[in-house]
A and B are shown apart, each in its own frame.
Chain A
């Protein structure tokens, strides 16, 4: 049996954040990643995907290792929302880095829905600052009167609104809606070893590392000599000893015939919201027949997705969207609206970058284009449309959960099964989002608008819950530091810990929780 001081399952932004901090303190860490290697900086991927339109299969995990079954309302391909490579989903993320509001941590006591977190915004505020420093966040609160209190400045200045954004901001302001800049993990200027953003505009595959990728810190962790990554390696189960301590994880090379054990003083599961819960469910034993950490029946429960409803607004004039590649205009004015409790909060994303996403990453020629002129006509017509997204919080409910699937992967282990049905409050939030869309339409002078139907939402790849934090076995899976109740050296960290999702993008909160838990582990356990 191999051994290390700390073993981490998953090399995404949470796993690498923890590995980086641990390795820098001289603590030996081994990371187990199911997916393949993903080179950094991502210039090779940029050339292949952007210049040569080539989707390299070397960066894809076989389907018999990454799959899920799905039932309920969610109409999108949930499986494709998980990027299983070294570095995880944040190798291709949009890098919007927002703090949740203080009220988001106590929706039960403040608004009567969901549950309160076992920690408050103030417990996390210091770590939000650390997370922003780690990721190199560019931003300002000067134009955003709805931003929560902060004790440290943004590490980098903001990306200004685009020319088009400024036009819309002015129109909306006249109707009482504030459009402001977006904090994001893109370097407005050179930051540490990362160059300043040069506005390539293909941010999902930034060739220079201006848009943060976890692999940046993973490489630095490896350089310390205290961090090792096992790619193409699946963790199949966790083993607990008679005293209740996690003894080892059982892993297997994706193409190997033999499973092996790896022992560690501390084991951290950071495999994403769906796979983290799956691993606990697969780790059942005589002592924990329903899965590890599941004595209270909460593993897999309390799943939430963000609900992103897309719309388009048509104008008489042509604009020039997407001259900047990052995210710019959005409104946080409705994150904590007056009627919160009757419905949830909503972010209005009105960034002109949405246009490029539908063009630069378009994988086919728009029908019926047969010539360049027809392609130009298509693009020109699209310039009269402005895309808008209402990103809403959702509430946990008994019909939102993760369980073991009846189908199995190449090792014979059940895949994860996801069941998701929107709650009554979610439908009310849709109505609120629709009202906001109509307000924006009228305020900006659009002559036509299209808006998604209530069940036609995407999660924005924001999956939360399933191993939520709380006060004990009766209400949760882990404590406020991500430690599984009753298993002193086993942690689950990430979006899976969320008690309720708020409406803002979750990654900064995940990284802040990861840094906080790392400090706790170092202080108390190592």
Chain B
């Protein structure tokens, strides 16, 4: 079929307008979708703490938390302030007691499955391995891994956000200073004499 010059021009204009419209529509749709998708992903990455009653921690739960603390720290730590921390949160902030119990149970399950021991009874190296291999979001992980963890491993994301992060933050403010040779960490009464003198055991 031979097109007349006029028909050809008409079709060209219609085609160009159509293509532009489709491109604009696609771009708008992407822009329109981008914000809610990002918000959804942010929500998936940061699950909320579920509301649950406060109360005292059992010895078993506390021991699991302290074992996890020691394993995560990887250097000698004083456990008293972590114990105080876990007890206070469980007794004062809704959701933490249940979360700590779920964390202890999840660690126990992974320990039994991968090493055949109770988490608290496993060797330090095994405890560290179990924690290292827990489902988590790392900076270098691929998109699919992140999406899978965000959707399927929400319990572990919650543990990371509300337990592991707290342990490391508390460690940063306390025992990490001792590891570097400080006599004491901020938050303890350190007196006014030693700070003017050379550190006794600087690393």
Chain A positions near chain B (C-beta within 8 angstroms): 50-54, 159-163, 166, 188, 196-202, 318, 320, 322-325, 356, 359-360, 362-373, 375-376, 378-380, 383
Contact = CB atoms under 8 A, between A and B. Distances in A.
B195 A365 contact: no
Contact of B93 (A54, A198, A371): A54
A163 B198 contact: yes
A353 B197 CA distance: 16
B176 A379 contact: yes
Given A52-B88, A320-B199, A359-B173, 8 more contacts: A159-B192, A163-B195, A320-B180, A320-B181, A371-B128, A372-B73, A372-B75, A375-B176
A368 B199 CA distance: 29
A160 B196 contact: yes
A53 B171 contact: no
Contacts of B77: 372
A325 B192 contact: no
A398 B81 CA distance: 53
Contacts of B74: 371-373
B168 A200 contact: no
B40 to A, nearest CB: 22
Interface residues of B, number: 48
Contacts of A368: 138-139
A379 B177 contact: yes
Interface stretch (B20-28, B49-57, B97-105, B183-191): B183-191
Interface string B60-86: 000000000000111101000100110
A320 B189 contact: no
B7 to A, nearest CB: 55
A363 B168 CA distance: 11
A383 B132 CA distance: 27
Contacts of B169: 53, 362-365
Contacts of A364: 165, 169
B195 A324 contact: yes
A199 B187 contact: no
Given A53-B170, A372-B175, A375-B168, A367 B73 contact: no
A200 B195 contact: no
B77 to A, nearest CB: 7
A51 B88 CA distance: 10
A54 B128 CA distance: 27
A127 to B, nearest CB: 29
Contacts of B168: 365, 369-372, 375
B188 A200 contact: yes
A197 B189 CA distance: 9
A372 B175 CA distance: 9
30 contacts: A52-B85, A52-B89, A159-B192, A161-B196, A163-B197, A163-B198, A196-B192, A199-B190, A320-B180, A320-B182, A320-B199, A322-B186, A323-B190, A359-B173, A362-B169, A364-B169, A365-B168, A366-B172, A369-B172, A371-B168, A372-B72, A372-B74, A372-B171, A372-B175, A375-B168, A375-B171, A376-B176, A376-B180, A379-B176, A379-B180
A521 B26 CA distance: 69
Contacts of A50: 173, 187
A321 to B, nearest CB: 10
A54 to B, nearest CB: 7
Nearest to A205: B187
Contact of A198 (B75, B172, B191, B194): B191
Contacts of B175: 372
Contacts of B143: none
B38 interface: no
Nearest to B77: A372
Contacts of A161: 196
A362 B186 contact: no
Contacts of B187: 50-51, 200-202, 360
B195 A323 contact: yes
A365 B161 CA distance: 11
Nearest to A367: B139
B202 interface: yes
A315 to B, nearest CB: 14
B166 interface: yes
A318 B173 CA distance: 18
B96 to A, nearest CB: 10
Nearest to A201: B186
Contact of B173 (A196, A360, A373): A360
Contacts of B189: 198-200
Most chain A Cβ neighbours within 10 Å, of B92, B176, B182: B176
B179 interface: yes
Given A324-B195, A369-B168, A360 B138 contact: no
B184 to A, nearest CB: 9
Contacts of B186: 200-202, 322, 325, 356, 359-360
